Amino acid sequence: MEARLNLMTNPVSAKVIKHLIAAGQALMDTTLPAATRQLVMLRASQINGCAGCIDMHTKEAVAAGETAVRLNLVAAWREAKVFTEAERAALELTEQGTRIADAAGGVSDAVWANAAKHYDEDQLAALVAQIALINAFNRKNVITQQPAGDYQVGQYH
């Protein structure tokens, strides 16, 4: 599979991606747990069908110590017993925040309140930013049909 556009060599795209990567680096400095960030990025990428981001975030999560069982169950997190209540709240917020067009009301008050029970205001801000950021990456990759499978851990750090 050939990409429609090389996002890293096209000067316009590369400039934008540089800023998106910087935003991602800023989120690494927050108190939102790294495992939660990886689960959120993986789940949004699954929903959006972004093979490149699924490849990247699965490999990054494994390198950070995440288990294969948890990674394999992210797509079916509601039925899985391996996620904390806080992670479940983050995954639900991710799904509703990613599927905005599917829900006329956007993110429900109940989902927001549940997330707010588990995360402080700064962590919620980081969670919202992470969801928005991964959706931006997913859309760039899906629109340009970026191939997946050859990502190396730390490649974009």
Whether residue 81 lies inside any domain: the answer is yes
CATH number at residue 74: 1.20.1290.10
DSSP helix/strand/coil, 104: coil
Q: Determine, yes or no, domain membership for 150.
A: no
Residue 34 lies in a domain: yes
Asked if residue 56 belongs to a domain, the reply is yes
CA distance 50 to 127: 19
Residue 104 has pLDDT above 90, yes or no: no
- Output the pTM of the full model: 0.94
pLDDT at 105 exceeding the cut of 80: no
Range of the domain at 71: 11-143
Is 17 a member of any domain? Answer: yes
Report the number of distinct structural domains present in the chain: 1
Q: Is residue 98 in some structural domain?
A: yes
What pLDDT digit, counting tens, does each position of 52-96 carry? 999 999 999 999 999 999 999 999 999 999 999 999 999 999 999
Of 29, 71, 50, 57, give the one whose Cα is nearest residue 155. 57
Residue 103 reports pLDDT greater than 90: no
Count of C-beta atoms within a 10 Å radius of residue 96: 20
15 is a domain residue: yes
CB 30 within 8 A of CB 126: yes
Helices (H), the chain: 11-28, 34-48, 51-63, 68-73, 85-98, 109-118, 121-143
Check residue 154 and give its pLDDT. 80
